[in-house]
Amino acid sequence: DIQMTQSPSSLSASVGDRVTITCRASQSISNYLNWYQQKLGKAPKFLIYAASSLQSGVPSRFSGSGSGTDFTLTISSLQPEDFATYYCQQSYNTPYTFGQGTKLEIK
């Protein structure tokens, strides 16, 4: 199985900050990388596919980049509704696997 490792596990930031979350795959996955946002007690919400393609309706302050084994999710200017846990997920092969999550908290 492909292991996905996110860093940091948690992050404190303020409204308006620019934040970056990193996801590393245990082997090359080209750009078969998705990002999700999960708020407490809610289902994950799909944000980005193919490492950098924004799902329709996702604010443009979210962006993704990377290829191979290293990927990033960047939020350019944090809004109050962005405080949540973010997960990466590889769709390169089955079994599809997720990172352990990065919890973004208000400073």
Residues at the contact surface with another protein, assessed by CB under 8 A: 32, 34, 36, 42-46, 49-50, 53, 55, 87, 89, 91, 94-101
74: Cβ contacts below 8 Å, ≥ 6 apart: 18, 19, 20, 21, 62, 63, 64, 65
| Minimum CB distance to another protein smaller for 13 or for 50 | 50
Q: How far is the CB of 94 from another protein (least distance, A)?
A: 6
| Minimum CB distance to another protein smaller for 44 or for 66 | 44
| Minimum CB distance to another protein smaller for 17 or for 96 | 96
Q: How far is the CB of 78 from another protein (least distance, A)?
A: 23
CA–CA dist 74, 68 (Å, integer): 18
Please give the single-letter amino acid code of residue 15.
V
The answer to whether 29 touches 86, Cβ cutoff 8 Å, is no
CA–CA dist 56, 3 (Å, integer): 28
How many Cβ atoms from other residues are within 10 Å of residue 3's Cβ? 12
Q: How far is the CB of 14 from another protein (least distance, A)?
A: 27
Q: How far is the CB of 11 from another protein (least distance, A)?
A: 18
